[in-house]
Amino acid sequence: MAIIPVPQLSDNYAYLVVDDQTNQCGVVDCAEADKVLAEVNRRQLRLVAVLPTHWHFDHVGGNQDLVRAIPGLRVYGARGEHGRIPAQTHEVDDGDTVEVGTLKGRVIGIPAHTNGHIAYYFPQLNSVFTGDTLFIAGCGRVFEGRAQTMVDSLAKLAALPDSTRVYCGHEYTEKNLRFALTLEPNNPALKSKYEWAKAVRAEGKYTIPSTIGDEKQFNPFLRIDSPELRTNLKKLVPTLSDDAVAVFAKVRELKDRF
Ligand SMILES: [Zn+2]
Residues with CB under 5 A from ligand 1 (ion): 56, 132
Question: What pLDDT does residue 160 have?
Answer: 98
Active site (catalytic) residues:
54, 56, 58-59, 113, 132, 170
Domains of the chain, earliest start first? 3-257 (3.60.15.10)
* Segment 105-117 mean pLDDT: 98
pTM above 0.85, yes or no: yes
Which H or E run includes 13?
strand 12-19
Is residue 215 predicted with pLDDT exceeding 90? yes
32 Cα to the center of ligand 1, angstroms: 15
pLDDT digit string, tens, across residues 29-71 = 999 999 999 999 999 999 999 999 999 999 999 999 999 999 9
At a CB cut-off of 8 Å and minimum separation 6, what does 240 contact? Answer: 233, 234, 246, 247, 250
Question: What pLDDT does residue 55 have?
Answer: 98
Torsion of CA 106, 143, 168, 101, to 10 degrees: 30
8 Cα to the center of ligand 1, angstroms: 14
pLDDT digit string, tens, across residues 89-104 = 999 999 999 999 999 9
